[in-house]
Amino acid sequence: MHFLLSRQIHKIFGTYDIKTLDPRVLKLIELVDSAYKSADEDRQLVEHSLDISSRELESNNALVRSVVDSIDDCVMVIGNDQDVVLVNDNLMKIWPLNIHIGKKAFVELLIQIQNSLKNPAILIDMLEHVSTARGNTRIEFNNGKIFDLIVKEQIVHKKSIGAIFVLHEVTEIINKNIDLERRIKEIEKINSFMVNRELEMINLKKKLKQLEESK
């Protein structure tokens, strides 16, 4: 007999021999006992399934976390209800958050953005309107670092639940392009000077020839 049913019977009947009860009552007790045991078996199956699902979820989360952290870019996932769902290690290097996820982390993130960007309004507006934030833009930090920002919609089960923000540093490329443009301008300037000088020499030679011919 199920231990719980046995305890309840003992509580009601004490030491009374229940075998002397009406057969219909005994049949009822038998059915209740079977129901208790069946419920225990179902509960154990559910708990076992939940345990397996929980371990699989933890494993999948760890895998996702490992993949996201291995990305060279800075990544953060913001939910439509304005809470931080995920940030990778590289983002934490530029915006170290005391609280990594949730609404408090979102507020802390806004403060850090406000204090670290030359023009924080663009990114702050995207974060505050995350359900419609999409596209690409460029942001510049007060320390001179420059990032291309890509914002994509996060969809789960065909439903938009937030946005993924990816920051790709382009400081070195931008600086190289600026240096290249400077060098090109210098070369163009030197080339223009050389061409003008050559033209002046040609004109001078023509004048000298004309003077010699006029004598």
Q: What is the pLDDT of residues 45-74, one digit of tens each?
A: 888 888 887 888 778 777 777 878 888 899
From 63, 105, 59, select the one nearest 86 (Cα to Cα): 105
Percent of the chain scored above 90 by pLDDT?
33
d(CA 42, CA 44): 5
Q: Of the ranges 14-28, 144-158, 182-196, which one carries the lowest mean pLDDT score?
A: 14-28
Instruction: Report pLDDT digits (tens) over 114-146.
Output: 999 999 999 999 999 998 888 999 999 999 999
Q: Of the ranges 8-12, 83-87, 126-130, which one carries the lowest mean pLDDT score?
A: 8-12
d(CA 86, CA 93): 14
Domain 72-169 has CATH 2.120.10.30: no
Question: Which of the pair, 26 or 77, is modelled with greater confidence?
Answer: 77
Q: How confident is the model at residue 67, as a pLDDT?
A: 79
SS3 content of the chain, % helix, strand, coil (to 5): 60, 20, 20
Question: Which of the pair, 54 or 152, is modelled with greater confidence?
Answer: 152
Provide the 10 A C-beta neighbour count for residue 97: 18
In this structure, are residues 138 and 171 in contact, taking their beta carbons and an 8 Å threshold? no
Q: How confident is the model at residue 3, as a pLDDT?
A: 75
Domain boundaries, the chain: 3-59, 72-169, 171-215
Q: How confident is the model at residue 215, as a pLDDT?
A: 62
From 104, 139, 101, 135, select the one nearest 119 (Cα to Cα): 139
From 109, 64, 67, 103, select the one nearest 91 (Cα to Cα): 109
Please check the confidence at residue 37 and state whether its pLDDT lies above 70. Answer: yes
Cα–chain-centroid distance for residue 207? 73
Q: How confident is the model at residue 96, as a pLDDT?
A: 86
Dihedral of CA atoms 115, 119, 123, 129 in degrees, nearest 10, equals 100
The two structure tokens encoding residue 74: 């800075």
Predicted TM-score (pTM) of this structure? 0.65
Instruction: Report pLDDT digits (tens) over 155-192.
Output: 888 888 999 999 999 999 988 988 889 889 999 888 88
Tell me 78's DSSP state: E
Q: How confident is the model at residue 106, as a pLDDT?
A: 92
In this structure, are residues 109 and 97 in contact, taking their beta carbons and an 8 Å threshold? yes
Please check the confidence at residue 207 and state whether its pLDDT lies above 90. Answer: no
Q: How many C-alpha atoms does 120 have within 13 Å on its Cβ side?
A: 12
Q: How confident is the model at residue 165, as a pLDDT?
A: 95
